[in-house]
Amino acid sequence: MQALSDRELMNRFQEPSQRHAVFLVVVDRYQKRIYWHVRKLVLDHEDANDIVQNVFVKAWKNMEGFRQEAELFTWLYRIASNESFTFLRQKKARTTLSIDEYGDAFIHQLTADPLFTGEQIHAKLMLAVETLPDKQKQVFNLKYFQEMKYEEMSQLLNTSVGALKASYHHAVKKIEAILSDN
Amino acid sequence: MSHTRNQNEQEPQTPHLDSIRKEELFQVPMGYFESLPDAIMKRIAEDEKPAARILSIFSRRFYWAAASVAASLVIGWFVYEWRSNQSERASAEAPMAEAIDTSSHGASQEVAHQEQAADKKEIINYLMDNGVELSTITEEL
């Protein structure tokens, strides 16, 4: 079953006896890409783990009605993005710290995390990324960290290449300004 | 010239960003991706379990049930009290009723005597009016 295309897997998923086996192949195929996308957004492993599990639980519940108008990964990626941004908004709403306090706490928490292997400057970069609007954050992560081509990103985010370039341009200018302030 | 300017507009100068060494910044716990599919399937199995029916003590249905029970207890208590009062009153009133019965029995006897006396008088008057001798009447009565 591992060799089947996404479309073939989705067709097999319609047979109730095959569902679990098909779904395990889907999880195995995309768990890493989904995890790293989520982790780059929420940064903490435990948070990312919870979100990734939620993403696949939602996918399981809705896969029967998945019409394959988008690619399977694109569909999973959008669920993951929505879950991550919802999580981040809720987390931000709970924060009572001022902007300065938040920045210090953010860098301290990230550099103290044993699963973060970067240096102080990387933590500052992640803090700068944290200040971006949702769309710019996604575009920056895909372009800067994953070095994804704009054409591929365009399909994934359902946005024109021109708009993506503009988003990246704005994101980079903001990040550069934040890094130069420090 | 124009082409160079367009490129400059597309790619902003980013000396600080460029100075940052690109590397993998995050790790995952050992064996994480090997165990993730099992964790996901476990979550799905838990989600698909039929949820236990929890009856909240704050639900409207609970309030109605509690109110019914309370009302039944109050009504039951009133009925019990009323019945025990009734039986106490009945036992307290029984001798008085007997006394009343006795006195009324005496009175009725007296009335009967009076009625009998009145009847005799009328009979005597009637017989005397019809020429029967008083001595004869007295002997007969």
| Tokens standing for residue B113 | 């005597």
Is the pLDDT higher at B85 or at A119?
A119
Q: Environment class of residue B69 by beta-carbon count within 10 Å: exposed (0-12), middle (13-18) or buried (19+)?
A: exposed
CB contact, 8 Å: A132 with chain B?
no
Q: What is the DSSP letter of B26?
A: B
Q: What is the mean pLDDT of residues B55-60?
A: 65
Q: What is the mean pLDDT of residues B73-85?
A: 86
A4/A71 same-domain check = yes
CATH number at residue A18: 1.10.1740.10
Q: Report CB contact under 8 Å: A32, B33.
A: yes
Q: Which domain holds residue A151?
A: 131-182
User: How many angstroms from the chain centroid is the CA of residue B27?
Assistant: 63
Q: Is the residue at A159 inside a domain? A: yes
Q: Is the residue at A115 inside a domain? A: no
A86/A135 same-domain check = no
pLDDT tens per residue across span B15-55 = 999 999 888 899 999 999 999 999 999 999 998 887 766 66
Distance from CA of B39 to the nearest CA of A (A): 8
Q: Is the residue at A101 inside a domain? A: no
Task: Report the predicted TM-score, pTM, of the whole model to 2 decimal places.
Answer: 0.68
Number of domains in chain A: 2
Q: Report CB contact under 8 Å: A53, B43.
A: yes
Q: Considering A94, A122, A152, which residue would you say is the last residue of a domain?
A: A94
Cα nearest neighbour of A115 on chain B: B27
- In degrees, rounded to 5, the angle at the alpha carbon of residue A95 between the alpha carbons of residues A117 and A128 is 45
Residue owning tokens 């890409």: A33
Q: Is the residue at A116 inside a domain? A: no
Q: What is the mean pLDDT of residues A104-126?
A: 94
CATH number at residue A170: 1.10.10.10
CB contact, 8 Å: A172 with chain B?
yes
pLDDT tens per residue across span A118-160 = 999 999 999 999 999 999 999 999 999 999 999 999 999 999 9
A156/A89 same-domain check = no
